[in-house]
Amino acid sequence: MNGADILCDTLLANEIDVCFANPGTSEMHFVAALDRKPAMRCVLGLFEGVVTGAADGYARMAGKPAATLMHLGPGLVNGLANLHNARRAYSPVVNIVGDHPSYHLVHDAPLTSDIEGLARPMSGWVGRVQDVNDVSPAAAAAISAARSSPGQVATLILPADAAWNEAGGPIAQARISTPSRVDHVRVRAAADALKQGGRSMLMLSAGGLREGALRSASRIAGATGTGLIAQQSNGRMERGAGRVPVDRVPYNLDRALATFAGVQRVILAGARAPVAFFAYPGKPGSVLPEDCEVIELAGPGDDIAEALEQLAEMTGAPRALELPASPLLPLASGALTPDAIIRAVARYLPANAILCDETISAGRDFFGPTFGAAPHDFLQNTGGAIGVGLPMAAGAALACPDRKVVALQADGSAMYTPQALWTHARERLDVLTIIFSNRKYAILQNELKMVGGGDLGRNAMRMLNLDDPELDWVALAQSMGVEAARSDDAAGFNDLLQAAMGRRGPFLIEARI
């Protein structure tokens, strides 16, 4: 067995059986080894941003890491933006990055670069295989790091000679961490704080946004008058009819400040204290009032559900929970608008679907109208690095082949990783993509108006408009093997969406808004 075989066996022995890949010459022995392991599902991305974004989406839904395979430093850097998002989502990912043998690095061949330096900012763990005998221990260490709680990005650099040399030795086992139990004293402190007067908010993220945890949170809210809110961006959230409806911290800074105005304490359950997404002249960076107390009930790696349940019990909340009715809004007619799309999605979403949201500006008001949609998982762009939506949808669909995946996708960000559509087609994934085609970087035009005032001049238009030429999303999807259709009026969109929700396999709707 060579090192590449040992690496495959170590991955498989540790429950990693999907590999999102874009290999190169230095990884050929690893490719040959993967070819000898039919138990490993190899999924090609035509660009590494697809590879890492898919690994993120897979991890969020499978609850375990996939492997990625990338080619040296330049391959890795193409995947870094979506690793940034994965890091912010606490997604476990095991990156395998090939490199030259150490004796070849001295020659500074064209593809040579500082892979560790490039990997570190977006990885929780970075390691390099020392030699063939180190392959299995190093891989197990990477997997252990990825599967620490709540999960992180681990990057393992595999020099080509460690892959092609022969060795024996046992296959190493990784350590899988489980969430830490939250100390009773911390729960008690939160309970005591909630007994004091004034306005409190319980802010949720990570495991705090799964159905059971949300029910406990809702019990706490009911018993204590505490407000509930989710972090602005979260890796995964269970929501929809029959589940506790929770809004998120608004992206808009003024609205976020208004949300927390007068709040005297915030209890964090898997969330981080809310901050401005961007800084603005004369505005604060934290969105909490200056004298607001911040109490961490549970960190993202803790057993948040259990902590919330304990807290609910301490508050004496009844176990029964009455959820508010969330009726669906009527379907829209007339011109197609983001609101019309959202109403239709809320109505036609099948039960147990997975919604991948990268709508940026157009989907900001998505939450209210979809509280009554069929139960679904909601996956977001967590780090603000755009281009995760379509790859994440691919990964989620691979993790959950029996569930419909719906990608709500802004046009500007879709153009970061359009190659993901090809993977949707190649793997026959049940992904319905809805392109919110507004033909501009709408979010930036709004920001620029706040900064510059007045109308956009030529240079600003050249940088913020996407209308010359317009992107033809139907042709783009079809060019990569994905069937597609277009709509620019609400009634037509409603019919198209209903039909698309009822079929299986990749499909794209260009929604011209």
Build a one-symbol-per-residue string for 90-129: x at contacts with a second copy by CB under 8 A, - elsewhere: ----------xx-xx-xxxxxx-xx--xx-xxx-------
Site for a second copy in 15-34 (CB under 8 A): 21, 23-26, 28-29, 31-32, 34
Of 189 and 276, which CB lies nearer to a second copy in the complex structure?
A: 276
Residue 190: name the closest of 226, 153, 165, 214 by CA.
Answer: 226
Tokens of residue 498, six digits: 């209903």
Specify the residue, 270 or 412, whose C-beta has the smaller distance to a second copy.
412
415 binds a second copy (CB under 8 A): yes
136-155: contacts with a second copy (CB under 8 A): none
Question: Is residue 47 a contact residue for a second copy (CB under 8 A)?
Answer: yes
Residues whose CB falls within 8 Å of the CB of residue 475, separated by 6 or more in sequence, listed in order: none
Tell whether residue 444 is a contact of a second copy (CB under 8 A): yes
Is residue 199 a contact point for a second copy (CB under 8 A)? no
Does 452 interact with a second copy (rule: CB under 8 A)?
yes
Give yes or no for residue 422 binding a second copy (CB under 8 A): yes
Site size toward a second copy, by CB under 8 A: 103
- Under DSSP, the state recorded for 406 is E
Return all residues near 192 (Cβ < 8 A) that are at least 6 apart: none
Residue 176 falls in which region: left (phi positive, over 0), alpha (psi -120 to 50) or beta: beta
Alpha carbons 122 and 109: distance in angstroms, whole number: 25
Which of 120, 18, 128 shows the shortest CA–CA distance to 77? 120
- CB-nearer residue toward a second copy: 123 or 315: 123
Q: Determine if 78 is a binding residue for a second copy (CB under 8 A).
A: yes
Using CA atoms, how far apart are residues 103 and 399, in angstroms rounded to an integer? 39
CB 399, CB 379: distance < 8 Å: no
Q: In whole angstroms, what is the distance from residue 147 CA to residue 149 CA? A: 6
- Taking CB under 8 A as the rule, does residue 80 contact a second copy? yes
Q: Is 167 one of the binding residues for a second copy (CB under 8 A)?
A: no
| Residues 270-329 close enough to bind a second copy by CB under 8 A | 272, 275-279, 281, 285-286
Part of the chain binding a second copy (CB under 8 A), chosen from 144-152, 234-242, 310-318, 460-468:
460-468
- Any contact of residue 418 with a second copy (CB under 8 A)? yes
Residue list 491-510, contact with a second copy (CB under 8 A): none
Residues 320-359, one symbol each (x = binds a second copy by CB under 8 A, - = not), give: ----------------------------------------
Q: Is 116 helix (H, G, I), strand (E, B) or coil?
A: helix
**Could you give the CA distance from residue 304 to residue 180 in angstroms, rounded to a whole number?**
9
C-alpha neighbours within 13 Å on the C-beta side of residue 2? 18
